Chain A
Amino acid sequence: MLRYTLSRLLSLGISLAVASVVIFLAIEVLPGDPAAYMLGLNAQPDTLAALRDELGLNGSLWERYADWVGGMLRGDFGTSYTYRSSVSEMIGERLWVSLPLALYALTLSTVIAFPAGIWAAARRGKAADVTVMGVTQLGVAIPNFWFAMLMVLVFAINLRWFSAGGFPGWDKGFWLSLKALTLPAIALALPQASILARVMRSALLDTLSEDFIRTARAKGLTKGQALRRHALRNALIPVLTIIGMQFSFLLAGGIIIENVFFLPGLGRMIFQAISARDLIVVESVVMLLVFAVVLVNFMVELAYALVDPRLRARA
């Protein structure tokens, strides 16, 4: 297990190093001067010089990269040009919207997908199966931001059960905040739940055709018992993989959904930074999200190794 962990850790480090170089160079290849780009056409020469200095643009390429990465490792993500405040603090505030949103959506997706997938597999070919497969086919094809708009129309504008957007803040009350995240979380969860339910179903059907299930049936278990006691556990590995992968979709998908509901999360922060040409913020937030995704994938891989000893041996 130790060797496996170390080898995954090494690949985690390489991924992050490559990602940071790519993100850093992407900003570097920007034609012309980033400071001039950020300030626009009518910049005064002394403001430009001051910003260049502040951005550390006068150092060599290597020095600037080392500064950026070194700063992030110490938790210093630089200073936002437009807001004149620390990017780390801005991220800290926004994370309290984006992270709960992603977790809320992941929970919804799992809670919906598990029973739906199991139900469809248990009633294979029957009406239940056809219904689940049809609904999930739609769920995969629907653009989630459009679904979000339709929910706003029905539940916020017509029925007035929810507000159409915005976020009160956790200090204004837990349930109030959770309510504000409910429609966004449903919109985010719908396509993911559809994918997960389909994976759950096909993983179950795969294990249900294994010999050990026949053995279990032969020793007198009913179909339902065999499914619950033996098939479910073995179907969990592909399902876990998908759940891990979905986290990255939820983080990235959250970027668009936050814009539908005007939620003050990382996604809106990125878009505000893009329109304000605040590249420091864009660079740091993208790096942070990539870090989060790579880290989650790493943890999922470790989780498999704990579940499935064969994977440890392969490393």
Chain B
Amino acid sequence: MSTAVTERSLGAQMLRNRNLLIGGALTVVFAAAALISFLWVPYPVDGVDIANKIKPPSAAHPFGTDHFGRDILSMIMVGARTSIAVAIVAVGIGMLFGVPLGLWAAARKGTLLDEVIMRGNDLVFAFPSLLIAIMITAIFGPSAVNAIIAIGIFNIPVFARLTRSGALALWQRDFILAARVAGKGSARISFEHILPNVANLLIVQGTIQFSLGILAEAGLSYVGLGAQPPIPSWGRMLAESQTMISFAPHMALFPGLAILLTVLGLNLMGDGLRDMFDPKLRRGR
């Protein structure tokens, strides 16, 4: 699993890896838009400018304005923060709980504990995540935090399964045997030797879950269960644009493109990283 490549060949590999380049570039653009929005946006997003409402794209407003006269480019930049924050925390929750559970299950393979952890995972996995997200927001009220929790819970089994299957293969290896002979306990082996060797798998999966998180947040916000006003969010921009789509298609076009390109970028980056970490896979597929 470890990538035995030198610094130079790694750089060369990344340049040749088209998925990684395109995906990485798209991701950087959106991350930069979110970061820059903290310091500067073309127009304030909380002001109402009725004189300028529903203007098609122009030099002053490259993506046009919405029904309150707000600049859509600025809204998309600020909205990127919401999407990225929700997805990052949701992936974080999944990793924080899922990875230790997976390591634990693998270290106790075949025991009741392993069985309970894996069946619990199957159970969560079997439920449509959107449904449970809807349930959570229905009860505790719609908010970005509840959306994060709902999306995060469903990341747990994803990471637990992946970590367990990666760890199981490693437990058979000689260097683990050596660590055991040296007197290390299974918890220490899991964190010192297993975890660093499944990190590649986790990074690739993390990228993919990140993109799924952005899609999920957009969906929840679109139906009004995600981030609430005045926090700008791509999903809600789409919801607000829907009734005006016949005469102001630009209001629907740009937020949707933002979601599409961000998710596409993350997916391409995930594919590219997988190819880089595991060239065998690329030849196989």
Write the residues of chain A forming the contact surface with B, with a CB cutoff of 8 angstroms.
Answer: 11, 14-15, 18-19, 23, 26-27, 29-30, 137-138, 140-143, 145-146, 149-150, 152-153, 157, 202, 205-206, 209, 248-249, 251-253, 255-256, 259-260, 270-271, 273-274, 279, 282, 286, 289-290, 293-294, 297
Contacts and interface: CB of A to CB of B under 8 A. Distances in A.
14 contacts: A19-B127, A138-B264, A140-B267, A143-B219, A143-B235, A153-B246, A157-B246, A202-B285, A206-B284, A209-B284, A259-B223, A273-B138, A286-B135, A294-B127
Contact of B130 (A26, A205, A253): A253
A143 B215 contact: yes
Contacts of A152: 245
A137 B267 contact: yes
Residue with the greatest number of chain B CB neighbours at <10 A, chosen from A146, A252, A270: A146
Interface string B133-160: 0111111000000000000000000000
Given A14-B119, A153-B249, 13 more contacts: A19-B127, A26-B139, A138-B260, A142-B260, A142-B263, A149-B245, A153-B245, A252-B128, A255-B134, A271-B223, A293-B127, A293-B128, A294-B126
B22 to A, nearest CB: 10
Residue with the greatest number of chain A CB neighbours at <10 A, chosen from B129, B131, B267: B131
A273 B137 CA distance: 12
Contacts of A256: 130, 219, 222-223
B238 A149 contact: yes
A259 B38 CA distance: 33
Contacts of A14: 119
A289 B134 CA distance: 12
Contacts of B123: 15, 18-19
A18 B119 CA distance: 12
Contacts of B72: none
B259 interface: yes
B213 to A, nearest CB: 13
A294 B125 CA distance: 10
Interface in B201-228: 211, 215, 218-219, 222-225
Interface residues of B, number: 42
B139 A146 contact: no
A143 B259 contact: yes
A146 B126 contact: no
Contacts of B256: 143, 146, 149-150
A251 B131 CA distance: 9
A150 B252 contact: yes
B267 A297 contact: no
Contacts of B13: none
B242 interface: yes
Nearest to B234: A143
B268 interface: yes
Given A15-B123, A149-B256, A150-B256, A286 B131 contact: yes
Nearest to B225: A274
Nearest to B266: A141
Interface in B248-265: 249, 252, 256, 259-261, 263-264
A143 B131 contact: no
Nearest to A147: B256
A154 to B, nearest CB: 10
A205 B260 contact: no
Contacts of B263: 140-143
B222 A157 contact: no
A151 to B, nearest CB: 11
Contacts of A11: 119, 122
Nearest to A274: B138
B78 to A, nearest CB: 19
Contact of A282 (B135, B238, B241): B135
Nearest to B267: A141
Contact of B134 (A202, A274, A293): A274
B267 A251 contact: no
B49 to A, nearest CB: 25
Given A145-B238, A205-B285, A282-B135, A289 B267 contact: no
A146 B130 contact: no
B268 A137 contact: yes
A290 B238 contact: no
B178 to A, nearest CB: 32
Residue with the greatest number of chain A CB neighbours at <10 A, chosen from B136, B139, B225: B139
